[in-house]
Amino acid sequence: MKIGFLFPGQGAQTLEMGKDLYDSYSEYRKVYDKVTKLTGIDIAKITFWENSTGKLNETKYTQLAILTMSLAILELLKEKNIKADISMGLSLGEYSALIYSKVLSFEDGVKVVQKRGEFMQELSPKGTWSMAAIIGLDEKILKEICNSIDTGFVTLANFNCVGQIAISGEKEAVNQAMEKAKEAGAKKVVELKTSGPFHTEKLKQASEALRKELDNVTFHEFATPVIKNIDGKKYKQNDDIKDILAKHIISPVRFKESIETMLDEGVDTFVEIGPGKTLTSFVKRASSNVKLYNINDKISFERTVNALNSNS
């Protein structure tokens, strides 16, 4: 059995995500306490008890909330001696993978993600922005649709899996592209829970600010391999990680290629760690010969631990 950990990104958040884990395990709660001390943000309060304020969907809080949940689940898995041979994440989730692989310390990783969320929210250009997933439409056709929209900016942003591409841009332009995609035969179009022109050139200012922030961070050797979004290949020890992570937020996410790399590495067991089940659904489209698990609540945690222990 070769295990790959998958870490979700922004858009996967849900109200009270992981609350039963928080209520049940002291080690899980300790991670939330640690993040709060590092950032000055009561992330448990935002995730579990401030539902009416909408803070959880603000980028500067969303990213920190998802990261914290993933890191807290990792702490529980560590206690059960369940480890990954390789890992990757979707966009924000790449930071969880880098922390897991010990390239980033817990402290540096949390602080960088806090700044990343702030930059992506506060340095996003003025306007109303949106993202949408387009399912069942050829890349060439979708690119032509985006190029045909003359009322605003919209472009291809995330290559998620076979048959699914996300677009990003100005809300009205994204809406028009969604309608044209339907007319062109898309099986499904879904607006995503994001609030900026993520993974496009429009976030250049945020990218530059993050690059400066990364100069304060120490990167270490990889304890386990990590696949990077920017090209779907494994990080090399001599890669310029600062440059890659800065470009990450203005470059398309190559998650389809990342999945293919994991499969080529011989991964036969995928565990999605954090809110949702989206990433394992992407893997399922790529291969029917792998085992898929999700950990996003107490039941799924216990089920996954039992399954992995029985297979080991």
Helix (H) or strand (E) holding 132: strand 129-135
CA distance 260 to 193: 26
The residues with which 167 forms a beta bridge, in sequence order, are 132, 156
Tell me phi and psi for residue 261, to 5 degrees: -65, -45
CA distance 43 to 37: 10
Tell me if 161 sits within 8 A of 258, measured CB to CB: no
Return the sign of the alpha-carbon dihedral for residues 55, 59, 64, 65: positive
Q: How far is CA 153 from CA 90, 127, 128, 164, in A?
A: 23, 11, 11, 20
Tell me phi and psi for residue 264, to 5 degrees: -65, -30
Enumerate residues 6+ apart whose C-beta is below 8 A from 199.
91, 157, 158, 168, 249, 250, 251, 252, 253
Neighbours of 184 (CB within 10 A): 15
Enumerate residues 6+ apart whose C-beta is below 8 A from 293.
269, 270, 271, 272, 280, 300, 303, 304, 307, 308
The residues with which 190 forms a beta bridge, in sequence order, are 133
**Candidate list 70, 91, 124, 195, residue with the active-site label:** 91
**Candidate list 87, 130, 199, 251, residue with the active-site label:** 199
Of the candidates 116, 120, 119, 24, the residue with the CA atom closest to the CA atom of residue 67: 116
220 tagged catalytic: no
248 tagged catalytic: no
Report, as residue numbers or ranges, the catalytic residues: 91, 199
